[in-house]
Structures are given as C-alpha cells and as structure tokens.
Amino acid sequence: MHRILHLLLPAIALLLSCSPETTPRPGSVIFLHPDGTGLIHWSAGRIRWAGPDGQLAWDRLPAIALYRTHLRDSLGASSNAGGTIYAYGVKVNQSAFGMDADQIPLTPSGQRLSLLREAAAAGFSTGIVNTGHLAEPGTACFLASVPRRADEEEIVSQILASQTPIILGGGESLFLPKGVPGRHGPGRRQDGRDLIAEARALGYEVVFNKQELAALSPSVEKLLGLFAAEDTYHDGPAAKTRAEKLPLYDENAPTFAEMIEASLRILSKNPKGFFLVAEEEGTDNFSNFNHAEGMLEAVRRADAGIQVARDFIQKHPKTLLLVAADSEASGPQIIGAPPSHPLLTPGKKLPPTIPKHGTPLDGSKGPATEPFLSAPDAAGQTHAFAIAWASPYDGGGDVVVRADGYRSELVHGSIDNTDIYRIIRSTLFPASLKISNP
C-alpha cells in the first residue's frame, strides 16, 4: 500500500498544481504613469514633502524593478513612443503614436489592438485620466493611432469614438469648433465638430470642474471630464509663470488623486474588472521647463494619486497597482550641503548657475531665488537644497517601476519597457504571456 501511494504522489502533485485554485485568475489593473519621473524626482519629492527620513506612498510600494527605456531607433525616449510601447508591447520608433510605421502595431498576443481596447472587448471597464490635455500620448496612445503627435484633433476624435467609459483630463478646446465658447475658453477644432455635443449623444455625463465631479450621481456610468482649455497646470519657465501670477495648477480642476478616486468609483462597479490608465503629466512638463517648484508639486500630486490607489487595493485585493514612467525628464540633481556652505544659506538667494560650472540651478521660486527647505528629518531639522538640471529633454536611463497588490510579484529585477504590457496583460488575461526578466 505504501509503495502504491509512493508511486501515486507525483501524479497527485501534478493534478493539484493544475487545479483551478492555483491557476491565476483575471484581475483589475490601475496603471499610474507619473510622466518623466526618474529616481531623483522621487527622492527630491520625498525630501521636500516627507523629509529626508520620511516616506512617500511611492516608497511604500513593495515590488520594484528597473526597466530599459530605449526605443527601436533611439536611446532617447519620447512620450508618444513610450505610450505606444505600453499599449502594444512592441518596440517602435521615437515618432510613433499608436502606430508602427504606417499601421497599428502587431501585439505579442497576435492582434492589432491596444491593450485597453482588448480589455474593453473582453468585458472589462476601461478609463483614461490625464492632468494634461487629452491628446497627451501617455494615455491617448492606448486609444488613438495617428501618423503625427501633432494630429491632436484626430486623436481626441478617436478617443471619443472608442466610447471608453471614463475620459478625464484637460483639452476642452480640442472638443469644440474654432471660436465656439466653452467653459474654459474658445474651441480650436478646424473641422467644425462639437465633440461635447457628440459625447452627450453617446450617453456621457460631461463635467468641467472639481465641484461638478464631486457632485456626480452614483448612477453615472460614462463620464467625460474637461477641466481646462488645455492643461490643468501652468507650465513654462518659472520666471514667466511668476510674472503672470499663474498658479502651478488650476484650483478649480480636480487633482490627479480626485480624478483617480472618481474613476475607481465608477469602474469598480463592473464585476468582470477594469483597466485604468492615469497620467500625471505635470511631472514631465514642469521638468522639461527646468521648473523645480512645479516639478515638486507635481510629484506631490502624483504621490497622492498613488495613495488613493493603494487605499483602493486594500479593499479590492484582486487589483494590481503598477507605477512607471517611460523616461527621466531633464535629469534633475539634488544639491545639498551643510548650513555653513555659502551656496545654500537659508534665506539667501542662489546664483542662477553653479559657480565655475554653469549648470542651471533652481530654487524655491525659480533661478536666483532662495533654496528649498526640506520637511523635518527624524531629528526635527530642516535642510536647504536646490535642484540642478542636466537638460530640457527626456533622458534615456533606466527607470524605476514599482507595484503593489495582485500579481505584483511580476515586477522584479531588470525588465524591458515592453514588459509593462506583458505584466498588465498577464494580470487581465492570466498565463497569456511571459515576462523577460530573469
């Protein structure tokens, strides 16, 4: 008898390993894309908002990996190529926007269909959120395929035509005919189409500010939010935005966190699950203008969005939270020194560049202003610091990917940017694709 059991044990183990209980089941995905955030963006944000010994919500995400950002034809990244790689899982050229040369990319799953569209076709609820205008590629590449990034009218037309249930961001001017008054300013479409009227005809509730978003009826299932004429933030050189007395972000627009929270309330009604792609674009745009004050505020807002998502997955454990950027915008560096150092005296203006070197140096209100002060450290001390900038471009170094929740173990080691697609697809459609990390 013992001999028979000994012979049967391997077969029993094999059957158990194939049982439904051990096979991964489909899960929902929250993909947060704080655009352009490299390691120094997060480190600077931690120092400024949580202190040198503190932690952001980003720091608390347990899974971590580094991924390679290079494109098919370039070591330098672009947001549109990065968005296309996320949406289709294949390398493309730097100019790509939801296309590979003259056609929609062929995905590893054998379809010419973005991951968001594939999820929708399978019955998942889907949505996009962007703090920039809705033609921004970090989200738009999941729903639009055009020859040029500049084809913004066609991009938002394709987004609306997809009838994705959640579409939140800026860019009202792209939805109205040229000169037609909107809630935030005149339209700029050349084809005469009123996409807001078309959206209402398709069953969308349309909202224009944070108050209207907060007052939504619980019965709303399709939502279009247009929270600014263009972006919900005011980027540009710090001296220019200061001179024009512009706030960093429009106070009437919902924050990244508020848009995510509203989206999850609607999307989570679907028992099948959902896939949300949400981008904080200010982290990239402020950085590209070497605007450290705006960059740090954008990092704070991105981190608040991560916290909303973390709170959600605590209550909905079959949800993957994935956080990644496709490049490091403008190569910031944290410049710190003891209080006795002449460069970083609290209350004293910084030079516009690092002496004898020429590197641009940014203080709390731009070049030639006082240093930033950190939040207190563990001893209760604050520290002066400045941000130096390497360039106005998106860099091509490795980017940190972090994750929490369902199937977050897929995020580890060294991966390729195409593996973001594979990780998401393996969560929505389990055991479908392999990840290339060791």
Q: What is the DSSP string of 192-245?
A: ---HHHHHHHTT-EEE-SHHHHHT--TT---EEEE-SSS-SB--S-HHHHHHTT
Rounded Cα distance between 134 and 116, Å, is 16
239 has a pLDDT exceeding 90: no
- Span 270-279, pLDDT tens digits: 999 999 999 9
For position 74, what pLDDT does the model report?
93
Report the relative pairing of strands 332-336 and 384-389 from DSSP bridges. Answer: antiparallel
241 has a pLDDT exceeding 60: yes
DSSP output for 128-173: EEEEEETT-HHHHTTT---S-TT-HHHHHHHHHHTT-SEEEEE-GG
Which residue ranges make up each domain of the chain? 26-331+398-428, 334-389
> What pairs with residue 400 in β-bridges?
66
- Span 56-104, pLDDT tens digits: 999 999 999 999 999 999 998 899 999 999 999 999 999 999 999 999 9
User: What burial class does residue 20 get, using C-beta atoms within 10 Å of its C-beta: 0-12 exposed, 13-18 middle, 19+ buried?
Assistant: exposed
The least confident of 5-14, 281-290, 303-312 is: 5-14
Rounded Cα distance between 89 and 422, Å, is 7
The greatest distance separating any two alpha carbons of the chain, rounded to the nearest whole angstrom, comes to 89
Sign of the C-alpha dihedral computed for residues 163, 225, 301 and 68 taken in this order: positive
Q: Which CATH superfamily is domain 26-331+398-428 in?
A: Alkaline Phosphatase, subunit A (3.40.720.10)
For position 129, what pLDDT does the model report?
98
Other CB atoms within 10 A of residue 340 CB: 7
Q: Please, which pLDDT band fits residue 340 given cuts at 50, 70 and 90? A: confident
